[in-house]
Structure 1
């Protein structure tokens, strides 16, 4: 069958193609009719300088099972589902030792077919399919980035009464705010650039105290040593500045990715004598979907505050340009194929 699928190539080239998707569903896979897929910061990073060849893209996926391959126990045609972007095998030594968080050996959708989330249909391994109910597809598509936010908060080990700072009010940083507050944080301060007006407004609605500033964190001497936990969702070069915010015994959890060099420098003696910790959060395998789906469903993570734009698949190029050029008014863009294009031969 012929479907539409978006393809991406650096620098900032995006196109919507008609491609052929095989009629036969692979064993242990399902055919998903995509209902919503969010644009991720990783998509923007790839668009800038990381893709030398055209590739399908889109990994924040909510959809409906259209067909089942063999050995798809527990799943049915018509199930509304979200897709894990990576999974653990359950059989290796790490998994059997209880460290499923360190295993990425399960099949995944990245190489399951010629289309990914920005398409009408795609294949996905049954082991990475998570059913959901009681959410719109738009809200459900936030499960993947919400899981990333949850992992970052969990990695920071927030305790009751902690003072928390979030640097970077992107969608993941924003979703981390209510998760941190529910985890026991006494207060959350969110720092962002002044141009990010919509994102800072969202941070305030989510319960954070907001600091809009274009100055270096180091210049905000009133914040020095004021936070028990700092969550960094900005590029890694911010980490040395973020260290200055930590109180004695504080912890930084970060998920930022460096463009170009990812090298940073900081005063190791100060880091040592103040008993600080720097922890990398990398939500792969993609754990915690059931938890964050509950948070989306009960309103702990309010989808309507996170999602600022909803556009049809035919406008994928416009959507990518919007994310690139209008960050001040753009928080999260969700693509909705709505009425899928399909022709059969």
Structure 2
């Protein structure tokens, strides 16, 4: 490849590294210079072989889905690549052709797609558990990738590393912006997005009012509260969530109440500006109990099919009263109040007072019901 063409390709890579279309344009130019059928960029969890196709040219979504769901587990070429030197392009000629041609991966996946030869490189170290794998494929009408072609491709390795870092930072920033927008849209409580050390990432308008009213304060970028009880309650909730792992399907929300506030906290995985990593954060919401004191009884009955008594028990709970206090207010036994709660749980499909509060408050916010 001529030096001028090489420089042009590298310039194209950097110029649009933050955009998916830019990568596709770069691959299109590369395939012209080094004839191939398709180019695929894949993010891979090395230990589990879980994969995510980031970009691919010429392969359909259905073909990629089949690969991600099944054929990655039969891909003898990818398995062999993981044991080869890193940050270097290798051809599938590096391991016995007989093994490749007799594999399920070839017979059921690459052959129907007219993929016969491939070369690829791990752009990040598989030893850290994550890697980007660039794979370039050719059909039966081509020859295997030559040493000269592999040497040319190796010249792109440091630039691919830099461009991937740019792309991942851009994705992280876009994800953070999406989180910021969702925090801003919360209007019924003071909302703070925090890192695990209580450093503020984002907050909404009501949270800023808490700061202006000296209910909350910030020291060295970290959030704290003037009230000793409020501060200790929030610290306890955060500590209870510290066992949250990076399993995105888990979304546990914890609740607590003080004399004046209803508090909830749930874990969030925040994208980090460090490429390929995420960090644990928390969404903290604080709602004044006074704003919930006079929920309309008829509204509770209509929304959830509660009896008048059950609606009254629910409203007392929203005011911050415990079972004993509710029984005193309604002049009935505590066991009666607990029976009412069981009936309410069944009607709303919840299992605890915190889930009950969360459901009625979120539903009333969505329907914009007037609070007296």
What TM-score do the two structures reach when normalised by structure 2? 0.23
**Structure of larger gyration radius:** 2
What TM-score do the two structures reach when normalised by structure 1? 0.25
The structure in which a higher percent of residues are helix is 2
Ranked by relative contact order (alpha carbons within 8 Å, sequence separation 6 or more), the top structure is: 1
